[in-house]
């Protein structure tokens, strides 16, 4: 159900952030950018458990990453009025796709994604800088802000790209996404207070 015009004028609509459920690669901490990995059984259960939380919000729109893990999460969580948004793809990790931080640090001691970036990969994984991810997310947020006039908007995507989204919502540099840990199968809320962007809730696990 859409919120009333009076509620919208008060600015109560919020951006609902959903990180997809567990995959085998997220479970083993492998960097999963454009590789289309499916949900594990636990990941599917995480998505189903999110449904009661999302039902209470009744988002007017839902924008979903093209990745199967995000699409499946949105479906299992019962989201309606969904639309695929290419700008929500995960960070392209380039030559680090499929590798863990521990493995990368064997070659680059002390490596940290948010400050050291990635190396180019193959044609399907050319890699992105954090600034490029931020620019992509800025475009998504422009659209989100227009949709928020109609009510809550849900965004279903991936850990790192959603952390960048949170940073940009708050007006911080893209690399400030490093400050916002985000687990699989969680819901977060971005809103406003006195017309200024805030985090209303973060990294909330579903009820069990």
Residues forming the active site? 20, 90
Q: How far apart are CA 168 and CA 112, in angstroms?
A: 20
| Tokens at 138, concatenated | 């800025």
CA distance between the termini of the chain = 25
Query: What's the chain's Rg over C-alpha atoms?
Result: 17
Other CB atoms within a 10 A radius of the CB of residue 3 amount to: 17
Which residue(s) pair with 82 in the sheet?
62
Bridge pairing between strands 15-19 and 187-193: antiparallel
Six-digit token string for 191: 């809103």
CA distance 43 to 50: 11
Query: Are the beta carbons of 35 and 98 closer than 8 angstroms?
Result: yes
DSSP 166-181: HHHHTT--GGGGGG--
Which of 69, 64, 67 has the alpha carbon at shortest distance from 23?
69
């Amino acid at each position: 159900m859409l919120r009333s015009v009076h509620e919208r004028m008060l600015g109560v609509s919020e951006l609902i952030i959903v990180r997809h459920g567990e995959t085998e690669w997220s479970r083993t901490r492998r960097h999963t950018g454009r590789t289309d990995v499916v949900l594990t059984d636990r990941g599917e259960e995480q998505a189903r458990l999110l449904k009661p939380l999302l039902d209470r919000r009744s988002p007017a729109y839902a924008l979903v990453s093209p990745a199967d893990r995000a699409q499946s999460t949105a479906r299992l969580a019962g989201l309606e009025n969904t639309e695929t948004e290419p700008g929500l793809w995960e960070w392209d990790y380039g030559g680090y796709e499929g590798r863990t931080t521990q493995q990368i640090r064997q070659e680059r001691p002390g490596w940290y994604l948010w400050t050291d970036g990635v190396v180019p990969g193959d044609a399907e994984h050319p890699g992105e800088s954090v600034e490029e991810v931020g620019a992509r997310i800025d475009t998504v947020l422009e659209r989100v802000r227009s949709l928020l006039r109609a009510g809550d908007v849900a965004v279903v995507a991936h850990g790192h790209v959603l952390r960048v989204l949170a940073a940009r919502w708050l007006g911080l540099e893209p690399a400030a996404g490093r400050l916002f840990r985000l687990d699989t199968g969680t819901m977060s809320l971005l809103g406003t207070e006195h017309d200024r962007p805030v985090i209303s809730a973060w990294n909330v696990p579903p009820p069990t």
